[in-house]
Amino acid sequence: MTTTLSTSTHWPTEALPKKWIDDLFDRMLMTFGKRFSDQWQGTDPQKLKEFWGTRMATLTSVEMRSGVEAMLKLKWPPTLNEFIELCRPSLDMTVAYYEAVNGMEARRKGEKGEWSHPAIFWAASKMTHDLLNQTYSNIKTRWENALSKELQKNGWPDIPAVMEALPAPGKTETDKERASRELENLNASGILKKQPGLAWAKKIMARKANGETLPAISVNWAQEAIKELA
């Protein structure tokens, strides 16, 4: 078998671009040589390429590049299903959850976060509050449904840059500024001297005032404890 296409000019409109498939088959031939040609001996090259192009129609150019890079590490040429798996590896929902939590915590610090797949980011962006404030067991079903829904899409927008935190509508200060003000009031009032048991709350408010990203529930507990014991 060679990678030369037949003289037919037909190419399925629903398939990946013809050039992508031509380049892929050329790369496989150059990488695996006779192992590749023997694998498809007796198969019509044109029909084979059309079949691959149609079956891989939902893959993006980024996924194709990832698949080719992974393929170069193999000893034997992949089948169609094996190559699709190289392009779009099955995601472990639990691993993806912890990636989402870490990524969203990073974004609250002004960092982009590390995202192995854009679907994880877009699923996480729809439930950021719950990811950062609830346990995995509490939102496991919702998370898996959200991520599965994202993975069914054919493509995803680029992950946006992190925007600088601004006061919410109707507010005149950010959470960091509010924490700094509350900490100053706490020190000025002498509450901590009267209530040594509030030292833990002061530490939380101080960390928040310094810009550290903390679970909202921890900050709320600290604020409530200060109000109750003041």
Q: How many whole angstroms separate alpha carbon 197 and alpha carbon 21?
A: 68
Count of domains forming the chain = 3
Give domain status of residue 63, yes or no. yes
Considering the domain architecture, whether residues 99 and 139 belong to the same structural domain is answered as: yes
Per the CB < 8 A criterion, the answer to whether 27 and 68 are in contact is yes
Same domain? For 63 and 31 the reply is yes
DSSP state of 134: S
For residue 144, being part of any structural domain is answered with yes
Residue 129 in any domain: the answer is yes
pLDDT at residue number 182: 54
How many other CB atoms sit within 10 Å of the CB of residue 173?
Answer: 12
Handedness of CA 87, 55, 90, 30 (dihedral sign): negative
**Residue 219's pLDDT is what?**
67
* Residue 77 and residue 86 in contact, taking contact as beta carbons nearer than 8 Å: no
> pLDDT tens digits, residue range 95-115?
899 999 999 988 888 888 888
198 within a domain of the structure (yes/no): yes
**Claim to verify: residue 129 and residue 71 sit in the same structural domain:** no
Same domain, 116 and 82: no
Assigned domain for 120 exists: yes
**Contact of 57 with 87, CB cutoff 8 Å:** no
75 DSSP 8-state letter:
S
Question: Burial of 138 by CB count in 10 Å (0-12 exposed, 13-18 middle, 19+ buried)?
Answer: exposed
pLDDT of residue 228: 53
116 plus 64 within the same structural domain: no
Q: What share of the chain is helix, strand, coil (3-state, %, to 5)?
A: 65, 0, 35
What would the pLDDT profile of 160-217 be if each residue is shown by its tens digit?
888 655 455 555 555 556 555 555 555 544 444 444 555 666 677 777 777 776 666 5
Range of the domain at 80: 18-87
- Percent with pLDDT over 70 in the chain: 70
Q: Are 138 and 176 in contact (CB under 8 A)?
A: no
Q: What is the rounded distance in angstroms from the CA atom of residue 48 to the CA atom of residue 26?
A: 13
Model confidence at 72: pLDDT above 60: yes
